Amino acid sequence: MDATVVAIAGDGDDSVRRPLVSRTEEIHPYAEPPSPQRPPLDAAAAQPEQQRKPQRVASLDVFRGFTVAMMILVDDAGGAWPGINHAPWFGVTVADFVMPAFLFIIGVSAALVFKKMPNKTAASKKAMVRAIKLFILGVILQGGYIHGRHKLTYGVDLDQIRWLGVLQRIAIGYFLAAISEIWLVNNNLMDSPVSFVKKYFMEWIMAIMITVLYVALVFGLYVPNWEFKVKISNPALSTPISLVEMKTIHCGVRGSLGPPCNAVGSVDRVLLGENHLYKNPVYKRTKECSINSPDYGPLPPNAPDWCLAPFDPEGLLSTLMAAVTCFVGLHFGHVLIHYKNHSQRMLFWLLASTVLTIFAFLLLLLGMPFSKPLYTVSYMLLTAGVSGFLLLLLYYIVDVIHIKKPFILFQWMGMNALIVYILAACELFPTLIQGFYWRSPENNLVDITESLLQAFFHSKRWGTLAFVLLEIVFWCLAAGFLHMKGVYLKL
């Protein structure tokens, strides 16, 4: 199946085929002892390559589908349940593990997709074209043109368009991981742990260089005072009009990790411009900016001016650091390719996940907090480690002991994740359904269903949660229908 941007699209090469090494190093996805119903592995290896159909690693699809489901959950139910919504600035919640999981599985799948590259130039071109397609799709869906479920309008002023977003970050991370996998891996045979390290040594050098650059800029870049525009209304006028007022934020510091004076926001303001940043940043839910913190709410008395300023959670500098999560995923994918049996794979994954998590908490103790908006190194290590543990757990359940039926819904969603993401997470489908209503826009199938569930549970929170869970099941079944019909969305 043609490999797309693998974390979202779900149609990447998640099967473990023969890598570009000698026949003795050929990897089989399942290395348990042969059963009477299944031919021995040696016999399978002796078959001509064209007669052997590679087996798909089902846990990768389950992981991908589970991540899409979690994104729908936290996006649509996070307003009613602030505890699962993104942390206002420092710290982590359930929602803060979703984006890194996407990036992690990109790396895992990219390692499988690019393990055989007869023509590096052609492979690079293919990776670049796919990244550009995904980036453009992200601008269309997340740049402001599609207003979403609660604003049944469309169109965007090009002077206000948002250039970066989730899909754009995935495109950048995918491209860096793919290019590294194509050009930085040598062709030496892998016959020992030492040769394994040598084979992928340059990729880790690249990841370390990106991390060093990020740290140097975040802690060394001078952040000057800056201004931004705020639209205000004058209710005293008979016809209220919006006025523009300039606010000044006083910084003049280096190494600040707080919302107003960090280097991540400073780089975006200079290179992208204030108008092209996200207008509803997560720090509006901090105690300084909301009386309902950790939920959105009115400004408290004497709230700082920066509460009204834009900030892009998928900015340039934080995306640079986020790409390192893809490199971690590459390592897990390399283990999947080069190690033959389940025990070896799970052992190496367990060690890697443990080391990443330990180093994350060490950095936390040394003063680098977990922060998704900044994508701090400690946050990257923690979320990558947790993603590794999750993959290890799913791999053991689905691919080792073969308990697949309870996860079939997630597997279906994972095999057609791009179309689910576009229609559900980007709200295209509910917006389309809401376009048909009876007399009043509020009388549409989507809002009426949610209202009925809230009335049934006598609770807005529990009714919303039930609605979102019903939505997830609907999309799992829709993805299963598409899978049975052999329909997959590819870029």
Instruction: Compute the Cα dihedral for 174, 177, 183, 188 and give only its sign.
Output: negative
pLDDT tens column, 433-488: 887 878 777 788 888 888 899 899 998 989 999 999 999 999 999 999 988 988 78
**Residue 215 covered by a domain:** yes
Q: Are 377 and 58 in contact (CB under 8 A)?
A: no
Query: Residue 119 corresponds to which amino acid?
Result: N
Query: Residue 160 corresponds to which amino acid?
Result: Q
Is pLDDT at 84 greater than 80 in this prediction? Answer: yes
Of 288, 308, 328, which closes a domain?
Answer: 308
Mean pLDDT of the chain: 84
pLDDT tens column, 148-207: 777 777 788 788 889 999 999 999 999 999 999 999 988 777 777 888 888 899 999 999
Tell me: do 334 and 381 sit in the same domain: yes
Question: Cα(200)–Cα(157) distance, rounded to whole angstroms?
Answer: 45
**Residue 16 covered by a domain:** no
Q: Are 472 and 73 in contact (CB under 8 A)?
A: yes
CA angle (388 as vertex; 387, 393 as ends), nearest 5: 95
Tell me: do 431 and 333 sit in the same domain: yes
Tell me: do 253 and 300 sit in the same domain: yes
Instruction: List the structure tokens of 162.
Output: 């948002």
Three-state DSSP class for 242?
Answer: strand
**Residue 420 covered by a domain:** yes
Tell me: do 425 and 349 sit in the same domain: yes
In terms of average pLDDT, the best of 227-236, 316-325, 416-425 is 316-325
**Residue 325 covered by a domain:** yes
Tell me: do 274 and 392 sit in the same domain: no
Domain count, the chain: 2
Three-state DSSP class for 101?
Answer: helix
**Residue 3 covered by a domain:** no
CA atoms within 13 A on the CB side of 285: 17
In DSSP notation, 46-83 reads HS-GGGPPPPB-HHHHHHHHHHHHHHHHHHHHTTT-GG
Confidence of residue 7 (pLDDT cuts 50, 70, 90): very low
| pLDDT of 21 | 35
Tell me: do 460 and 353 sit in the same domain: yes
**Residue 23 covered by a domain:** no
DSSP code for 280: S
User: Which residue would you say has higher pLDDT here, 107 or 53?
Assistant: 107
User: Which residue would you say has higher pLDDT here, 281 or 244?
Assistant: 281
The answer to which of 19-33, 176-190, 402-416 has the lowest mean pLDDT is 19-33
**Residue 346 covered by a domain:** yes
The domain in which residue 236 lies consists of 222-308
Question: Cα(326)–Cα(169) distance, rounded to whole angstroms?
Answer: 11
The answer to which of 142-151, 205-214, 262-271, 452-461 has the lowest mean pLDDT is 142-151
Tell me: do 186 and 246 sit in the same domain: no
Is pLDDT at 36 greater than 50 in this prediction? Answer: no
| pLDDT of 407 | 94
Query: What whole-number percentage of the chain has pLDDT above 70?
Result: 86
**How far, rounded to the nearest angstrom, does the alpha carbon of residue 231 sit from its chain's CA centroid?**
32
The pTM (predicted TM-score) of the whole model is 0.86
User: Which residue would you say has higher pLDDT here, 233 or 338?
Assistant: 338
Q: Which H or E run includes 170? A: helix 166-183
Tell me: do 189 and 327 sit in the same domain: yes
Partnered with residue 245 across adjacent β-strands are 230
Of 308, 325, 350, which closes a domain?
Answer: 308
The dihedrals phi and psi of 80, each to the nearest 5 degrees, come to -80, -25
Tell me: do 343 and 452 sit in the same domain: yes
Average pLDDT over residues 307-333: 95
Tell me: do 100 and 166 sit in the same domain: yes
| pLDDT of 236 | 54
Place of tokens 């007669």: 51
Is pLDDT at 45 greater than 70 in this prediction? Answer: no
Question: Cα(176)–Cα(102) distance, rounded to whole angstroms?
Answer: 15
Question: Cα(2)–Cα(130) distance, rounded to whole angstroms?
Answer: 11
Query: What whole-number percentage of the chain has pLDDT above 90?
Result: 57
Is pLDDT at 311 greater than 90 in this prediction? Answer: yes
Q: Before 54, cis peptide (omega within 30)?
A: no
**Strand 242-249 relative to strand 226-233: parallel, antiparallel, unpaired?**
antiparallel
pLDDT tens column, 353-403: 999 999 999 999 999 999 999 999 999 999 999 999 999 999 999 999 999
Of 252, 286, 308, which closes a domain?
Answer: 308
**Residue 192 covered by a domain:** yes
Q: Are 260 and 309 in contact (CB under 8 A)?
A: yes
* Burial (Cβ within 10 Å: 0-12, 13-18, ≥19) of residue 153: exposed
Confidence of residue 29 (pLDDT cuts 50, 70, 90): very low
Average pLDDT over residues 119-123: 90
The answer to which of 132-136, 194-198, 299-303, 379-383 has the lowest mean pLDDT is 194-198
Is pLDDT at 322 greater than 80 in this prediction? Answer: yes
Tell me: do 203 and 235 sit in the same domain: no
Tell me: do 65 and 154 sit in the same domain: yes
Is pLDDT at 416 greater than 50 in this prediction? Answer: yes
Instruction: List the structure tokens of 90.
Output: 């420092």
